[in-house]
A and B are shown apart, each in its own frame.
Chain A
Amino acid sequence: MYLDHAASTPMRPEAIAAMLPYLADHPGNPSGAHGASRATKTALEEAREAVAAVCGCHPHEVVFTGGGSEGDNLAIKGAAWAARAADPALAGVVTSGIEHKAVLGACERLEREGFRVARVRATGNGVVDLDALAGALHDRTAVVSVMLVNNETGVRQPVDEIARVVREHAPRAVLHTDAVQAPQWLDLSTAAIDAALVAISGHKFGGPKGVGALIVRDGTALVPLVEGGGHERGLRAGTQNVAGIVAFATALRITHERRPEETARIAAWREGLEHGLAAQVPGFTVNGADATRVAGILHCTFDDVEAETLLVALDQQGIMAASGSACSSGAVDPSHVLLAMGMPRDRALSSVRFSLGYATTQADVDAALTIVPEVVAKLRAA
């Protein structure tokens, strides 16, 4: 029972099928001038058009990347460096405390380079505090980065309102949104329309790992992280991962087509899981309950149960879930997201994320509804 789709999803069969010819049959470098290259160049540009259609942007605004972390880094560092080059006074970066480590890491790097970074808190419901955000903005702010959907709680962030606040208080700032968790649940052509930079990653919606895209809207100046042969409009040098990009675009297109049906189905299961656990398990709290959450994520706290122990016990019963963000060693750290929401450390260490995806079945949810209450009761009695 795989309930960790927010970490990674199984690939959609259509995406696998779409990429295979570009592994097996088409060797051409898309930058070349002969027939083999024309085949891969065509595939690459058709993929770009497909991504643009889903995201509501021009194809030339799509920059293929090596995934979400790279997109976030290119957006934040690239925009900050470009702003500083244009005007050294533009040295402010504003983000939130609930961002993915890729965003926080990029901001820390900029801080070491002399940028002034403000990290805005979130409310107890997991929504970035807009008043605090407004207070952190000023006319020297170069970059603002707030995610569209939080990867731990599933709480949707009001990027449209944030864009309005940014326009008002930091008119020169570029707004980036880490939308990595969004494509399965939200229509990016509307939900992310107010951000100049939008990062997504293939493996969160049935595409391959290690492929992503950064939407760079016209008029947004970026300094590249990787320089070289001018690929991706000079923003990301290196021969493109054609097979991966084709699979990425296919997965995104199918996700977009099936989103209404998949979202409705998964939302009903998530509700069932949430209410079923609430009914059976005492000391059970849903995090972000009063906020707008995407359909697939149930983030919850089990009083007096260590998440690390619970995850082992669940894994041994065949249920694969997660506790927020795992560090590189695989250990469970107290989630910085929950701490930024003001949750006490001990409660953060008792919190678990179940995340559903397109591949989830009724049987998975039924099994979780049987096993989770048993395991929690047993651990509490032990």
Chain B
Amino acid sequence: MEKTVNQKAWFLILPVLLLVAFSAVIPLMTVVNYSVQDTFGKNQFFWAGLEWFEEMLRSERMWDALGRQLMFSAIILVIQVPLGVFIALNMPKSGIWSSFCLVMMSLPLLIPWNVVGTIWQIFGRVDIGLLGYTLDALGISYNYTQNTFAAWVTIIVMDVWHWTSLVALLAFAGLKSIPDAYYQAAKIDQASRWAIFRYIELPKMMGVLMIAILLRFMDSFMIYTEPFVVTGGGPGNATTLLSIDLVKMALGQFDLGPAAAFSIMYYLVILLISYVFYTVMTNLDKKGG
């Protein structure tokens, strides 16, 4: 069959092109634009080249924030993934209790970020918060506004509370898709509970777990609202994660150039890590978990 050449067909992709331009390309290019210029106000801009990028790469502040960010994401992944899988394994597989568990677990996922932040901000307060007050009454020193460790524990526990359900729900979906014959075969082969998990459940869950890990990584790496509401990045800079620092720089100090350079590098880091995750995991999948 001969191909029909009709250049007017380009018009058909115009709507998509416009949509993507306005939703992604133009905003991104504005940031790129800021990152290579400097301004002294009055809407006058001067060419700055890669100066901001060089400055940000030398900035101890950014490296510190990146370090804290990586630590935060690593900790929540290490807690949420096994915990989510554990919950999924122990959930009722069918019947009314199964539905009940699913609904209960979905609830935290439906709460807006800043509300979650506010809940935990109040919950952890030593004067009026149930958690803070109780711990204080038990003689445990806990004050997330002054103690770095307490602040970290608070934001991590909050994130675990908010998002473990997502991992659990995805893992549960993976578990539900395993045909009964596998469990029956395992029974006949006298496989131990651990062997069933290791050789049947885990490999079959791998696909959805990958998605869960990727989602949780990206989300946690970009987290802003909840820790901002609870600790505001403090005490000091102890919980100033990347996006909190970025907002401080861009809106607090109005350093648009460095902030834009920062944003672009931030974006590239997320892209890079997600890509690495994805490649490693798909390779694992090909080799069979």
The reply to whether chain A is a binding partner of chain B is: no
Give A residues with C-beta under 8 Å from B: none
